[in-house]
Chain A
Amino acid sequence: MIEARDLTKDYGSKRAVDGLSFTVRPGIVTGFLGPNGSGKSTTMRLILGLDAPTRGDVTVNGRHYREHPAPLHEVGALLEARSVHTGRSAHNHLLALAQTHGIPKRRVSDMIDLVGLHEVAGKRSGQFSLGMGQRLGIAAALLGDPKTVMLDEPVNGLDPEGIHWVRNLLKGLAAEGRTVFVSSHLMSEMALTADHLIVIGRGKLIADTSVDDFVARASQKVVVVRSPELERLRTELAGPGITFAAAERGALEVHGLTAEQVGDAAASAGIALHELTPQQASLEEAFMNLTRDELEFAAEMEEAVA
């Protein structure tokens, strides 16, 4: 469980995180979504106490991260920025972390095997590829068998097999009742793993909702309808806030009505329908709709600067 209240962080005159309040619950995968530079990594650093908030507060499993007597058993974190000494081997990196909590050496080998770094465990981590570095970071996060797992862009640099592995891992961890908080700037990635979404833009909370609700809320009501009497149907459906777009031949795209409303209207007018398809916006579209304002603002700023 992660609870943030009015979390705010300024770096000089720049506000990176702006009054964020949210709760990340156990037992599900919560996606933390936002464009690059929206404050996701900063929020995670605030959660871990690496940075101190300018205002507000955040607790993990009921306490400030710093107050936990055994933090690695509470939270396992993978940060976006590299957090390994390049001259140290994967094994020694994990061993040094494990030793702070008295975690046995066997656990270090187990984690190395789990993430598939067995053959390179003795190599200096500076020679690792991006994907291997991510695997090492994930091993470090899981070392303490933590109640809460927090991963910043975990699939970055992973091959398709690795991405698949991470998705399964996250779902498995949530199924065991752990709190899983995972950030991404890719909506499509979240669609495949997350149950719940916390969306931020420019440091502010945009949405805190289930994935299903998020799509339903952000997508416009669009229905594709096919009928031999399209013109009459169009007259029947016309009303304020309702627009039509031409679809393929013999079909019509109705904006502003649900499939039920269109079907009922057609039935009461005695119009035969050959197709009635609600068009759900993709997650990526929903995300774009929500963050459009932020992005437009950013684009304007860029133009102004250029």
Chain B
Amino acid sequence: MSVIAPTVRLPRLDVTGRVAFHRILLSEWTKLRSVRSTKWSLAVGFLLTIAFPLIFAVVTRSHWGSMQPSERRGRHPLDIALAGVNVAQLAIAVLGVLLISAEYSTGSIRSTFTAVPKRLPVLWAKLLDYAAVSFALAVPAVLVSFFASQAILSPIQPLHISFTHPGVARSVIGGALYVMLVGIFALAIGAIVRNTAGGIAAFAGIFFVLPPLMFVLPQSWNNAISQYLPSEAGRQVFALHHAAHTLTPLTGGLVFAAYCAAAILIAAVLLVRRDV
């Protein structure tokens, strides 16, 4: 049987638009929501933010009666409420790296930059989309953690703290802000390194390996330097109390934001200069 193939005709496209930033934002949003790693990482980050405070609150409540006064003094309700932030940041950082590194490992970056050859708007759109989605998820997560842990701790008078108490609202929302900034920082690292394993390793090195290394230094050096590390500066955004050798929430937040800006700047310069 011989098949005579009909002439293939490409249907015409009657509407023609041009590349615009709001369209790139939508495109990057489609990419963000259409892979499994996003759903997994965000779900894990969200659940961890809530789960850890609940576990700690339950444990604290059940052991309160057997605790020494000194041990009781060491407990702080906000530390419990925001314990999950420290864990969730890893999930958010991994996803931040993946959002760009997976484009390189799968080759989809070539499609991306063929559609948007100016490249930089893609980076801005990824950052904006991810900042929005991570903050939008982190805010309810920290609010739930705060009120749920407070509810569990309700029989323990010394661990009561009001949301309107000075610094509390700032700390709680600061926890969400910190998570968002971590995501941004990680995304920028991913754009610089362009490799998933390398990006995650770089992030872990800066956030989890560098701080304990500082204890090798003399105490005065450690105090002077550590406060300016990205993780330590960033942490002040959601810390209620401040020691003499830590930055204020505002300064700490700004220092961390400056690290993010520097990483983004390096990523942007490399993005334009490097071959894909």
Q: Which of A's residues lie within 8 Å of B, judged by CB?
A: 45, 48-52, 65-66, 68-73, 75, 77, 79, 81-89, 92-93, 95-97, 99-104, 107, 110, 114, 140, 142, 144-145, 161, 164-165, 168-169, 171-173, 176
In the assembled complex, 29 residue pairs joining A and B whose CB atoms fall closer than 8 Å, in A order, are: A45-B275, A50-B113, A52-B275, A69-B18, A70-B16, A70-B17, A70-B18, A70-B19, A71-B116, A73-B16, A75-B114, A81-B107, A83-B110, A83-B114, A87-B102, A88-B31, A97-B111, A99-B23, A99-B26, A100-B23, A103-B13, A140-B111, A144-B13, A145-B13, A165-B5, A169-B8, A169-B10, A172-B8, A172-B10
- Chain B residue with Cβ nearest A42: B275
Partner of A97, one of B5, B7, B17, B115: B115
Q: State how many angstroms separate the Cβ of B180 from the closest Cβ of chain A.
A: 23
Task: Contact check, A83 vs B18: say whether CB atoms are below 8 A apart.
Answer: no
Instruction: Other than A85-B106, A102-B18, give 10 A-B pairs with Cβ distance below 8 A.
Output: A81-B107, A83-B109, A84-B111, A100-B116, A102-B20, A102-B23, A103-B17, A145-B16, A161-B5, A168-B6
Partner of B10, one of A82, A100, A140, A142: A142
**Contact flag A84-B275 (CB < 8 Å), given A92-B34, A165-B8:** no
Chain A hits for B114, CB < 8 A: 48, 50, 71-72, 75, 77, 79, 83
Is B24 an interface residue, CB under 8 A from the partner?
Answer: yes
Partner of B11, one of A51, A95, A114, A165: A114
- Chain B residue with Cβ nearest A50: B276
Chain A hits for B106, CB < 8 A: 82, 84-87
Chain A hits for B7, CB < 8 A: 168, 171-172
- Chain B residue with Cβ nearest A49: B117
**Contact flag A102-B17 (CB < 8 Å), given A87-B36, A95-B30:** yes
Is B27 an interface residue, CB under 8 A from the partner?
Answer: yes
Is B242 an interface residue, CB under 8 A from the partner?
Answer: no
Tell me the total A-B contact number using a CB cutoff of 8 A.
141
A114 to B6, CA, bound (A): 13
Partner of B107, one of A73, A82, A161: A82
- In this complex, the member of B35, B102, B117 whose beta carbon has the largest number of chain A beta carbons within 10 angstroms is B117
In the complex, which residues 106-158 of chain B have their Cβ closer than 8 Å to any Cβ of chain A? 106-111, 113-118
A168 to B37, CA, bound (A): 40
Is B15 an interface residue, CB under 8 A from the partner?
Answer: yes
Is B165 an interface residue, CB under 8 A from the partner?
Answer: no
Task: Contact check, B108 vs A93: say whether CB atoms are below 8 A apart.
Answer: yes
Is B79 an interface residue, CB under 8 A from the partner?
Answer: no
Q: State how many angstroms separate the Cβ of A82 from the closest Cβ of chain B.
A: 5
Chain B hits for A65, CB < 8 A: 117
A266 to B17, CA, bound (A): 68
A68 to B17, CA, bound (A): 12
Task: Contact check, A50 vs B17: say whether CB atoms are below 8 A apart.
Answer: no
A187 to B10, CA, bound (A): 26
